[in-house]
Amino acid sequence: MNAIATFGHRGALLLALLALSLMLVEYLFHKFNHSDSHDARETAVSLAIALGNKVTGLLTAGLVAIPLLFVYRYRLFDVALDNVWAWGALFVGVEFCYYLHHVAMHKINWFWATHSVHHSPTRLNLSAAVRLGWGGPLTGGFLFYLPLVALGFHPAAVFGMLAVGLLYQFFLHLAHPPDLGPLEYVLNTPRHHQVHHASNDVCLDKNFGAVLIVFDRMFGTFAPAPRDEALRFGLAGTAPTLNPFKVVFGVWARMFGAAIRAKGVGAKLRALFGAPA
pLDDT per position as a tens digit, 232-277: 999 988 899 999 999 999 999 999 999 999 999 999 999 999 999 7
Maximum C-alpha span of the chain: 58
The predicted pLDDT at position 277 comes to: 79
In this prediction, residue 69 carries a pLDDT of 95
Contact 126, 170 (CB under 8 A): yes
Residue 212 — φ and ψ, nearest 5°?
Answer: -100, 155
Rounded Cα–Cα distance for residues 241 and 216 (Å)? 31
* Whole-number Cα distances in Å, 150 to 24, 67, 68, 155, 157: 42, 11, 9, 9, 13
> Which of 4-18, 29-43, 56-70 has the least mean pLDDT?
4-18
For residue 5, the model assigns a pLDDT of 43
Beta bridge partners of 8: none
| pLDDT tens-digit series, residues 208-237 | 999 999 999 999 999 999 999 999 999 988
- Which letter does DSSP use for residue 211 in this model? S
Per residue in 141-161, pLDDT (tens digit) is 999 999 999 999 999 999 999
Distance (Å, whole) CA 137 – CA 162: 13
State yes or no: pLDDT of 2 exceeds 50.
no
Per-residue CA distances from 254 to 94, 197, 249 (Å): 32, 21, 9
Q: Residue 77: pLDDT above 90?
A: yes
AA identity, residue 259: A
